[in-house]
Amino acid sequence: SSVYDSVSYPIREIEENLDWVNLIAYDFYCSSTIIGPPAALFDPSNPKGPCGDSGLKEWIKAGLPEKKAVLGFPYVGRTWSLEGGNDAASTPVPTSAKGYINYNHIRRLIVDHKARPVYDSTVVGDYCFAGTSLIGYDDHQSVVTKVKYAKKRGLLGYFSWHVGADDNSGLSRAGSSFCIFLNISFIFRLHFH
């Protein structure tokens, strides 16, 4: 949001002097004993809680034009080690100090552990259990939905962190294929309507 760790950003100066602002809409739940979607776009249980939509709304409310906002989403996930196996009610223990896992490693874990990926359309995020680990991340549908959201809101664009964590450019292609579809449908409407 426009306020971070009790520090307010100088929105007016930012708006007047910067061409865009990258809004980091991830790392909401990190290495802690609290589990939650690390990059949720929405949080219906707490609409003003940590999620991309509420953060964007706070920036806009503070005076940042939507046309200067760039929505960020991760190509990394967060992991938690669950005591007692893959029971979501178990007490989580972070797997490492940072708890990050690259998307390409997540895809490999899904195959190796025969994990079942789950897309949560309510928050726009994905998760799976791999052995005793819970992994929260963004997969193809999450990326496409977030790109659609950025376009619908009139944002300047979107970015990802970090492209090197992608799995054979699958997430990048998912986001860009939606944009190509938009451009083709726009051209089609121009020429045939």
Domain layout of the chain by residue ranges: 3-192
| pLDDT tens digits, 94-137 | 444 578 899 999 999 899 889 999 999 999 999 999 878 899 99
Q: CA angle at residue 1 from 127 to 145, to 5 degrees?
A: 40
The string of pLDDT tens digits covering residues 157-186 is 999 988 888 998 889 888 776 554 444 444
The percent of residues above 70 in pLDDT, for the chain, comes to 80
If one counts every other C-beta atom within 10 angstroms of the C-beta of residue 110, the result is 16
Question: Which residue type sits at 128?
Answer: C
Nearest to 75 by CA among 22, 23, 116, 126: 126
- Contact present, 47 and 136 (Cβ < 8 Å): no
Q: What residues does 134 pair with on adjacent strands?
A: 80, 129
CATH topology of domain 3-192: Chitinase A; domain 3 (3.10.50)
Q: Report the predicted TM-score, pTM, of the whole model to 2 decimal places.
A: 0.84
Residue 17: Cβ-neighbour burial (10 angstroms; 0-12, 13-18, 19+)? exposed
